[in-house]
Structure 1
Amino acid sequence: MNNHTLPHIIRQGLAGLFHICSHELKQVFKDQGVLIFFLLVPLAYPLIYAFIYTNEVVRDVPAAVVDLSNTAQSREFLRLVDASADVRIQSHCTDMEEAKTLLKETKVYGIIYIPADFNKDLSTGKQATVSLFCDMSGMLYYKSLLLACTNASLSVNKQIQIERAGNTTDRQDEITTAPIEYEDISLFNPQDGFASFLIPAVLILIIQQTLLLGIGMAAGTARENNRFRDLIPTSKHYQGTLRVVAGKSFAYLLIYLIVSAYILCLVPKIFSLVQIAQPSTLLAFIFPYLLACIFFAMTCSVFIHHRESCLMIYVFTSVPLLFISGISWPGAAIPEFWKAFSYLFPSTFGINGFVRINTMGAELNEVLPEYRALWIQSGAYFITTCLVYRYQVTLSRKHAIERLHLLRLRRMSAKMRKA
């Protein structure tokens, strides 16, 4: 019987593929470390992040005041700041040293400094200065303090303009202080909430990072359990490169289709985040993103030789990847080198596309650049995965042949000693 016919080769390949897939699934659920990255972290981290920022904005940020002017104008400015919903003046200090002490003890998160010549400068028509010192460990504190002080300064400016305008009507005062009426509304995030802005990007990044960590740890475990430290075991089911890559990737895809549905659909619903994506559009976009992340992680996993190595290599990249994606930091302000470097990672296109689909209601034709880029990455990283795994299969076969050759030599040597 001819064992090299096309139907036989296909049946053998499919049998090997499903064997590798089932074996990989068993290894995932048997390995506690991999299980943590594939299930526990994706289940817990989105809840933690969303719960931390569930209030969307920070209110009543405690601040200290150093008012060296102590005049009606300076007190009016501070009254306006304290009346805002964002800031609460907690302490009036006599000097900056006392205020700095409160800041170091985290009793306040900002210092408002009004110099002694504040009222004098206003009276003589000079530009007065109010200094703001913030604890930059929390960007939301800085935002609240800056907005409150800016709005207070605008209100004081209007009052000064009206006073200097002379004998005018209320309508003239209104036109003088606000010649053009405007209303500031943030598109797709009218409440200026931090969770609605950042959490969607974090959710997409969690998928990539947990795949990198989980697949990397699985690769390190496979090497540690192999006597030759090979990634691919010497088994008849692992003889074809394509079946190895397809079997492993299919196992990871099955897991992450469920995980992604939880992360991207259920978590935003639990915390009432903006979620206006069309299900068909979201599914069509996420599928190439998962493939790109899986093949990218499998390509990177060949460089992992120990279980713990992936933790030291991949964990610290999460924050830089979030910044260079162009979401938490303006894309126009990112240097060209880092912008080009960010294109190597599926998260860059995944974050930008998902935010537009989920938060802005974009359709697939409106995120075509990101969608096409993800398919290109899927194809490119599939090729690199096949190349590196082909080398690993060849290396594993070479070590098996060397071992057989060594066994034969030992047997021949034993026979010669007996003779």
Structure 2
Amino acid sequence: MSLRAAFLDTLRQLGCNTDALMLIVVAALFYGFYYPAPYSQGHAQDVRLAVVDEARTPLSRQLVDLIEASPLAEVAARPANLAEARTLLVERKVDGVLLLPDRALEDALRGQDSGIALWINGTYLVRAKALGQAIQGAIVNTLNNEAKGRLGVSIEITDPVESQPLFNPNLEYGAYIFPAVTPVILQQTMLFGTAVLFAGRRRRGWNELGGQWLALSLVSFVLTLTYFGWFFAAQDIPRQAGIGALLIVALFAAGAISSFSLFASRLFPNARAALLLLIPTSLPIFFLSGATWPREAMPGWVSALGALLPSTHASRALLLTDQMGAPLSEALRPLTALVILTISFLVGSGLVSRFMTNPEELTP
């Protein structure tokens, strides 16, 4: 079969195979809407808080009212003691517990240890951060207003470091996580769909392999541009890369993702076995990409494992060029890695096709 015939045949198979079409195209488009939906507000709001007010003074009530007025926090409970509050936290009925000991705010005004304590559920870091910001702002405003009323002076409480976000000005979680997870979504949907199409089909020549790769790369390229150009704009994701840079990143990412998918699919005797083993890999692959934890802080062997995945380098190249506005020269390392992976997985696919036989494929 010629290269052109294999290319057209792969596109035909994709169009005729409902399962593969659903996984590669429909699932990828669905995730473009579904994944960023929970982060549409941009920030955590109305995080539930239990307040144990042992002071019960006008000043402490003013503090609680300011916390209640914040869009970040909601005073969901006012238990009588700390034990009840901790029970609510353990049962996840609240996300945090604030303890205001007797005369805590008065001690704070005198510059003494106030004893104010805060317990936060650290499972969701974004919600924990929002709760901390709401309480910090309320305490500062309460003390400032009281000092101004008593002494006629204003207390200036400022952070020693002024933070000015450059690449995510609104500090929205969705604007950070969605671009980082996009290559993982595109890789995994392509991987599953390719497994449905080609798992176990090893007796194929180089022309057929090349045609399959070109066809899948074209589909992946179009889907990648759909994310970069349409989904990011619809979600108001900060974008700084030019069209040329996005085209190059999308092209390199699509080629590496397609070759990786072809290689992985050839390692399994059939589609069912491939999907059973590949579907659980999505979450570990996301962690290996470095989006949730820096790869530099990972153990060496874990970081090396992540370096074998196209999504790791595609995510890095996208964040550098589109989110951080870096020139392509700054993304040369991840782009080079994508080229190396593309060639390596294509050669690996060809070697598997030549030297490994599939008993199911030999069955008449």
TM-score range normalised by the length of the shorter chain: 0.7 to 0.9
Deviation of residue 103 (structure 1)?
4.8
Q: Report the CA distance shift for 1:355/1:363 in structure 2 as closer, same or farther (over 3 A).
A: same
Deviation of residue 74 (structure 1)?
3.9
- Among 25, 37, 45, the alignment partner of 1:59 is 45
- Among 118, 130, 134, the alignment partner of 1:148 is 134
C-alpha offsets along residues 38-92 of structure 1, whole Å, 9 cap, x if unaligned? 1111110110112221111122223221223334554454344334331121321
Deviation of residue 158 (structure 1)?
6.5
Q: Which residue of 2 aligns with 1:209?
A: 188
- Among 31, 39, 44, the alignment partner of 1:45 is 31
For 1:130 and 1:28, locate their aligned partners in 2 and report how far apart those are by CA, in whole Å.
62
Structure 1 gap ranges (5+) = 1-14, 224-230, 404-419
Aligned length: 362
Structure 1 residue 17 and structure 2 residue 6: aligned?
Answer: no
SS in 1 for 2:77: strand
For 2:152 and 2:198, locate their aligned partners in 1 and report how far apart those are by CA, in whole Å.
78
Equivalent residue runs for 1:373-392 within 5 Å: 373-392=337-356
Bigger shift: residues 276-285 or 335-344: 335-344
C-alpha offsets along residues 361-393 of structure 1, whole Å, 9 cap, x if unaligned? 22211211111111122222222222112224x
SS in 2 for 1:361: coil
Q: Which residue of 2 aligns with 1:413?
A: none
Q: Report the CA distance shift for 1:113/1:337 in structure 2 as closer, same or farther (over 3 A).
A: farther
Query: Structure 2 counterpart of 1:295, which letter?
Result: S
Given that 1:276 and 1:361 are in contact with CA atoms closer than 8 Å, whether structure 2 keeps it comes out as yes
The percentage of counterpart residues that share the same residue type is 25
Query: Structure 2 counterpart of 1:59, which letter?
Result: Q
For 1:17 and 1:30, locate their aligned partners in 2 and report how far apart those are by CA, in whole Å.
20
Q: Which residue of 1 aligns with 2:282?
A: 318
Query: Structure 1 counterpart of 2:290, which letter?
Result: G
Q: Report the CA distance shift for 1:246/1:270 in structure 2 as closer, same or farther (over 3 A).
A: same
Q: Which residue of 2 aligns with 1:363?
A: 327
Q: Which residue of 2 aligns with 1:99?
A: 85
Q: Which residue of 1 aligns with 2:119?
A: 133
Q: Which residue of 2 aligns with 1:300?
A: 264
Q: Report the CA distance shift for 1:361/1:142 in structure 2 as closer, same or farther (over 3 A).
A: same
For 1:167 and 1:122, locate their aligned partners in 2 and report how far apart those are by CA, in whole Å.
15
For 1:283 and 1:52, locate their aligned partners in 2 and report how far apart those are by CA, in whole Å.
29
- Among 176, 185, 197, the alignment partner of 1:197 is 176
Equivalent residue runs for 1:187-336 within 5 Å: 187-220=166-199, 223=200, 231-232=201-202, 238=204, 240=205, 242-336=206-300
Larger radius of gyration: 1
Structure 1 residue 344 and structure 2 residue 291: aligned?
Answer: no
C-alpha offsets along residues 120-159 of structure 1, whole Å, 9 cap, x if unaligned? 8648865334333334454332221122233445556778
Given that 2:220 and 2:258 are in contact with CA atoms closer than 8 Å, whether structure 1 keeps it comes out as no
Given that 1:245 and 1:389 are in contact with CA atoms closer than 8 Å, whether structure 2 keeps it comes out as no
SS in 2 for 1:93: coil
SS in 2 for 1:58: coil
For 1:179 and 1:355, locate their aligned partners in 2 and report how far apart those are by CA, in whole Å.
29
- Among 97, 113, 125, the alignment partner of 1:111 is 97
For 2:301 and 2:144, locate their aligned partners in 1 and report how far apart those are by CA, in whole Å.
45
Question: Aligned-pair RMSD on alpha carbons?
Answer: 3.2
For 2:230 and 2:294, locate their aligned partners in 1 and report how far apart those are by CA, in whole Å.
28
Q: Which residue of 2 aligns with 1:81?
A: 67
Q: Which residue of 2 aligns with 1:68?
A: 54
Q: Report the CA distance shift for 1:322/1:154 in structure 2 as closer, same or farther (over 3 A).
A: farther
Q: Which residue of 2 aligns with 1:227?
A: none
For 2:358 and 2:288, locate their aligned partners in 1 and report how far apart those are by CA, in whole Å.
38
